[in-house]
């Protein structure tokens, strides 16, 4: 018997991440092997999960991944651990189209018990109908318990506990209202600032979880027998193409760090990965393929611009026909310049004839499907910057659509053997990554069979 649970909520802002981080750290302190997962396309929560649990966190996404791939990921990473903890996204039933892509859909597919985190601020017994509704809205889901956040006192919790009893949902404890466990934020999610003392923060939440939440009972009611393959889901091959080994260079530093674990794992099976830093290194390593993921280049504009050696090295690699994929912040780095919030223009790699600007920031986000010739690419867009065309601007080579099939103006740029755009793409699913294999191994200007 191993414990499997999905931490859901009625809405965003209920405290899922705070409770998840505290539980992961508390379980680690008990010397349990705990495997974290994250519903949806979030990069930042997974990084904090890893720091709290000491184990890589993996995304589970109903839009970008096939059902077979989700089942394969969960089975593979949860194998041999004591506890598997999956943090949900938004409200439990919130997906890109009603329930599609929601945490509830992931719970149903993988048959994971659900623990609800409920925002108890300014409410008490009124949570009873909310809990009852979440438990019975979809009978195939297993809502086993609730943890309350922002609780004012033991007296306050007594009303919440009574509500749980009458709704048929077990009360597992609470987190008190405390200013010192509020997570600092940044425009793309949780803070990644170096001066944020994460270890101290995680330990502080873990102590609150140990003190106010019945962890033993939580583990008991989420324990499941050894998992068997789901007959509804097709078997997913884990093999990779039997092609020549590649030298792969991936940007990874404070400015570029948004990448999916399975994307990197897939690349590692195709060859040798070398990480490099556009902030610190003066040139690219030898490579057949370069990956520039997203991140926070806007926070390091002066440093990136001052590193002329790396900028020139990337420009020369592209002009010589090297294959490169750049996403969001990586795409911005390929532009002629980035205009910061200070209004100053900072020279960048100069591969793409355009500027990226942080002025007049406006959020753009959502799932995207890109159609380029015979290729179908899936990913997620989340950014505040925008592109300013220059003379002879590059057109988008793909048609982009939202998850609901509405055409979007999200660009995909092609220059020589470069693909670049705002979409964070997913290629870890062997059922859906033929376009990526064609890009890596294809010959000629199109790079497709």
Question: Catalytic positions, please?
Answer: 328
Contact 168, 132 (CB under 8 A): yes
- State how far the alpha carbon of 55 is from the alpha carbons of 27, 49, 81, 83, 291, in Å: 12, 8, 11, 12, 24
Residue 104, burial from CB neighbour count under 10 angstroms (0-12, 13-18, 19+): buried
**CB contact at 8 A, 277 and 251:** yes
Strand partners for 4:
84
SS3 content of the chain, % helix, strand, coil (to 5): 30, 30, 40
C-alpha 264/C-alpha 364 separation (Å) is 25
62: its two tokens: 């109903």
CB 117 within 8 A of CB 12: no
Residues 36, 49: Cα–Cα separation, whole Å: 6
Residue found under tokens 């938004």: 90
Q: Nearest-CA neighbor of 142 among 172, 104, 174, 171?
A: 104
Q: Alpha helix (H) ranges present in 275-399?
A: 301-306, 308-319, 329-334
Burial class (CB in 10 A: 0-12, 13-18, 19+), 139: exposed
223-224 and 256-258 as β-strands: parallel, antiparallel, unpaired? unpaired
């Amino acid at each position: 018997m191993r414990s499997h649970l999905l931490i859901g909520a009625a809405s965003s802002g209920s405290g899922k991440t705070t409770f998840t981080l505290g539980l992961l750290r508390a379980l680690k302190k008990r010397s349990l092997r705990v495997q974290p997962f994250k519903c949806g396309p979030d990069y930042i929560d997974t990084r904090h999960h890893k720091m709290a649990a000491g184990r890589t966190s993996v995304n589970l996404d109903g839009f970008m991944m096939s059902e077979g791939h989700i089942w394969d990921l969960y089975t593979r990473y949860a194998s041999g651990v004591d506890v598997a903890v999956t943090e949900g996204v938004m409200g439990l039933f919130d997906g890109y189209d009603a329930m599609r892509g929601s945490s509830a859909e992931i719970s149903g597919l993988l048959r994971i018990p659900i623990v609800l985190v409920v925002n108890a601020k300014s409410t008490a017994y009124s949570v009873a109908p909310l809990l009852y509704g979440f438990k019975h809205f979809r009978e195939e889901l297993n809502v086993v318990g609730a943890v309350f956040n922002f609780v004012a006192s033991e007296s306050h919790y007594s009303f919440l506990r009574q509500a749980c009893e009458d709704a048929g949902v077990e009360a597992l404890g609470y987190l008190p209202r405390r200013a010192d466990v509020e997570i600092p934020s940044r425009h793309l999610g949780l803070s990644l600032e170096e001066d944020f003392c994460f270890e101290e923060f995680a330990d502080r939440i873990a102590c609150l979880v140990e003190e106010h939440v019945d962890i033993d009972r939580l583990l008991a009611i989420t324990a499941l027998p050894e998992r068997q393959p789901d007959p509804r889901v097709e078997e997913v091959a884990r093999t990779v193409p039997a092609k020549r080994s590649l030298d792969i260079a991936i940007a990874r530093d404070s400015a570029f760090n948004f990448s999916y674990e399975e994307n990197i794992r897939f690349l590692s099976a195709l060859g040798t990965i070398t990480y490099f830093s556009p902030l610190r290194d003066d040139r690219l390593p030898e490579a057949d393929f370069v990956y520039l993921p997203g991140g926070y280049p806007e926070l390091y504009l002066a440093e990136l611009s001052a590193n002329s050696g790396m900028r020139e090295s990337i420009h020369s690699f592209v002009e010589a026909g090297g294959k490169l994929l750049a996403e969001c912040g990586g795409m911005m780095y390929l532009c002629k310049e980035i205009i910061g919030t200070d209004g100053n223009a900072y020279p960048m790699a100069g591969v793409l004839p355009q500027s990226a600007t942080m002025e007049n920031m406006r959020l753009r986000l959502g799932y995207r499907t890109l159609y380029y010739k015979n290729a179908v690419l899936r990913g997620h867009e989340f950014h505040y910057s925008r592109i300013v065309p220059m003379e002879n601007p590059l057109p988008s080579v793909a048609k982009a659509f939202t998850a609901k099939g509405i055409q979007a103006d999200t660009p995909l740029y092609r220059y020589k053997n470069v693909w670049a755009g705002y979409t964070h793409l997913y290629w870890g699913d062997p059922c859906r990554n033929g376009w990526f294999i064609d890009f890596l191994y294809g010959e000629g200007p199109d790079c497709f069979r």
